[in-house]
Amino acid sequence: MKTYISILRGINVGGRNAVKMDALREMYCRLSFSDVQSYIQSGNVIFRTEETDTKSLEKSISAEIVKTFDCEIPVLVLEREEWRNALKNNTFLKDSSKNPDFIHLTFLSKFPDKILTDKISNVNYPPDEFCFGNSVIYLYCPNGYGNTKLSNTFFERKLKLTATTRNLKTSKELLALADLK
C-alpha cells in the first residue's frame, strides 16, 4: 500500500464550498482508502491505498465529492515521495535571507507546457518571487500570500492547469503525518 496526500482547492474559503472534515474523511473511507486523516479545514487528506495511478485517484475523489457534497472541487493527489521531493527541492529554503513564514508551494495538476512557463518566467511582482519546480511552483511572498498577485488563479489562467497552494508549515506537517503511516 502506498501513502498519498490529497489537496483540495477552494473548500471552506469565504463561506463557499463548505465541507466538514469528518464528512470528508468518511467519504474517503467509502472509497476504500485506509488510514484516512485530515489536516486543518482547507482540504488536506492523507490516506493509503493499493491504487497507484494518481490521476485515477483524483478522478475518483472528485466524482465522490460531487455526489457527497454537490460541488465540484479540484483535487490533486501526490504520492508521499513526490511531496517529499517538492519540499526538498524548494530553492527558497536554501536562501537564508528568506523568512520561511512567507514561503509557499503551489502544486500543479501537471508539469506546465514550456511555452507557457517561458511566457511568465519574466513576470515580476516585487517583492514577491516565484520559481518552477517539477509540477510545483515555489513562492516567496514577504507581504503574505493573501496580498500577492501570484495566486492560484493567476497560475491557472497563465498555465492552463489546476493549481492549489499550501504554506511551508502546512506542507511540512502533511509530510510528517504521511510519514507516520
Tell me: the pLDDT tens digits for 142-172? 999 999 999 999 999 999 999 999 999 999 9
36 contacts: CB under 8 Å, gap ≥ 6:
25, 28, 29, 45, 46, 47
The residue type at 8: L
144's grid cell: 503574505
End-to-end Cα, the chain, rounded Å: 10
What tens digit of pLDDT does each residue of 66-93 get?
Answer: 999 999 999 999 999 999 999 999 999 9
- Domains of the chain listed by start with CATH number: 2-79 (3.30.70.1280), 83-179 (3.30.70)
Q: How confident is the model at residue 181 (pLDDT cuts 50, 70, 90)?
A: confident
For residue 166, give the DSSP letter.
E
Residue spans of alpha helices (H) in 36-167? 54-69, 80-88, 114-120, 152-159
Q: How many CB atoms lie within 10 A of CB 32?
A: 11
The residue type at 123: V
Strands 75-79, 34-39: pairing kind: unpaired
